[in-house]
Amino acid sequence: MAEKVPVFGKSLYDYMTDENMTQNESGVKIPGDCTSAFEHAFADVAEKKNTLLTVPAGDYTLYKPLVLPNGLFLDVHPHAEIAFCGFETDEKAENIRIRGGIWRLQGDAADMCAFEFSDACGITLENAKIYAGRGAAAGFCGGSDIRLESCSFYGLPGTDDAASAGVLLGGSLCCVSLEGLYSHGCDRFIEISENTALEQLSAKTITSDDCLYFVYGSKAAVKSAVLHDLSGCAHIDAVYLADCTLEKLEMRGLDLYNGFFVFARNKVGKIRLERFRRRYDLDKNAATKGSLSIFGQGCRINADIVSLDSILRTGKLCPGIKLNAARRSSPLIQPDTPFVYTFDALLAETDKYIMPSGSFDSFTITGN
């Protein structure tokens, strides 16, 4: 006789009753209003009667926002599509994991956060597709040990008062990991809101083919952030950081077109950009938009592997800034490759530096 193996967790169907079902045109019962089923399932987790809740493939609808309980592992089939009004947490939530699913904010909730976490610890959101309308796909107001992985965010243009976002970061945050994320239609892929204190941010393989900004931050404090492998289109600026305190910020592997880098009125410890390639084959702003702008902040800049044309054009646009340039000792890659240059300069708060064109291997900004 085969040994019985204990089975952990429950299916959403364990909580479904006739009131949660409806009939399709063929008379087959299918899920309808599943709000109460999710409520009962979450109550079991809150009472520690269960931790794993699975959601099979199918279409589900929830008609009010729900609170995610501590300790929940919500495992959703990749072809389960859930129309909902948002999930949120109580303060000090912990150990919540959501995997899979196609999530669509509906009705008035389409201007809010699809997933909203407050002072939460140990949060994982992975392999999810989130259609967030004019709101934010995932919002975090304080917390630590946060991981988003292999998620896709789809948004609509926001309003003058509120931009749509993929990931919205606020409050006091520590140890945030973003990896393998894609965005289409969100105004701000990653937004760091005002008065945020963000420490230890890691973002890797971030891709968008239609956003206004990859990273947008204003009046925030960022300490020890590393972003690498950012690629795609930003219609305004790939990175816009203004009136922030930036203690240590590193960005590597930047493959971008249409929008690039703006640093304005920041207090800077050290910013380092590496391996930036401007995609002129896709760039609609090649003749009008600079690759990098710095203004309102006293700092020292140093760039390596920059074209002579970029240096000469900077000299014409910024005649008050003295660039100390030097040619590399030998051409790179092939003997007929054009020479490249390195330069450094000291910027005052009143200076406005513009790199009008071109790519670079590295660009460093350090505070005076």
* pLDDT tens column, 106-125: 876 667 899 999 999 999 99
Say whether pLDDT at 278 is over 60.
yes
Distance of CA 37 to the CA centre of its chain: 32
* Each residue's pLDDT tens digit, 156-210: 876 665 678 999 999 999 999 999 999 999 999 999 999 999 999 999 999 998 8
Query: What pLDDT is stored for residue 5 in this prediction?
Result: 43
* Each residue's pLDDT tens digit, 58-113: 999 999 999 999 999 999 999 999 999 999 998 889 999 999 999 999 876 667 89
Query: What pLDDT is stored for residue 348 in this prediction?
Result: 95
Domain that includes residue 113, residue range: 10-297
Give the N- to C-terminal CA distance of the chain in Å, as an integer.
77
For position 221, which CATH number holds?
Answer: 2.160.20
Element (H, E) at 43: helix 35-46
Give the number of other CB atoms < 10 A from CB of residue 336: 6
Q: Is residue 313 part of a domain?
A: no
Query: What pLDDT is stored for residue 162 in this prediction?
Result: 63
Take residue 249 and report the two structure tokens written for it: 């910020």
Share of the chain above pLDDT 90, in %: 74
Query: What pLDDT is stored for residue 109 in this prediction?
Result: 61
Nearest to 41 by CA among 57, 20, 23, 22: 20
Structural domain count, the chain: 1
Query: What pLDDT is stored for residue 340 in this prediction?
Result: 83
Nearest to 213 by CA among 194, 225, 230, 200: 230
Q: Is residue 132 part of a domain?
A: yes
Take residue 355 and report the two structure tokens written for it: 């790199």
Confidence of residue 329 (pLDDT cuts 50, 70, 90): low
Query: What pLDDT is stored for residue 366 in this prediction?
Result: 96
Q: Is residue 365 part of a domain?
A: no
For the CA atoms of 183, 185, 186, 187, the dihedral, rounded to the nearest 10 degrees, stands at 130
Which of the residue ranges 32-46, 78-92, 247-261, 324-338 would you say has the lowest mean pLDDT? 324-338
Query: What pLDDT is stored for residue 345 in this prediction?
Result: 95
Residue 39, amino acid = E
The answer to whether the predicted template modeling score (pTM) of the entire model surpasses 0.75 is yes
Query: What pLDDT is stored for residue 111 in this prediction?
Result: 73
Q: Is residue 105 part of a domain?
A: yes
Q: Is residue 324 part of a domain?
A: no
Q: Is residue 14 part of a domain?
A: yes
Nearest to 294 by CA among 245, 240, 222, 213: 240
Query: What pLDDT is stored for residue 337 in this prediction?
Result: 59
SS3 36: helix
Phi, psi at 117, each rounded to 5°? -120, 135
Q: Is residue 305 part of a domain?
A: no
Query: What pLDDT is stored for residue 92 in this prediction?
Result: 85
Q: Is residue 3 part of a domain?
A: no
Query: What pLDDT is stored for residue 123 in this prediction?
Result: 97
Burial (CB count <10 Å: 0-12, 13-18, 19+), residue 194: exposed
Contact 125, 151 (CB under 8 A): yes
Query: What pLDDT is stored for residue 26 in this prediction?
Result: 72
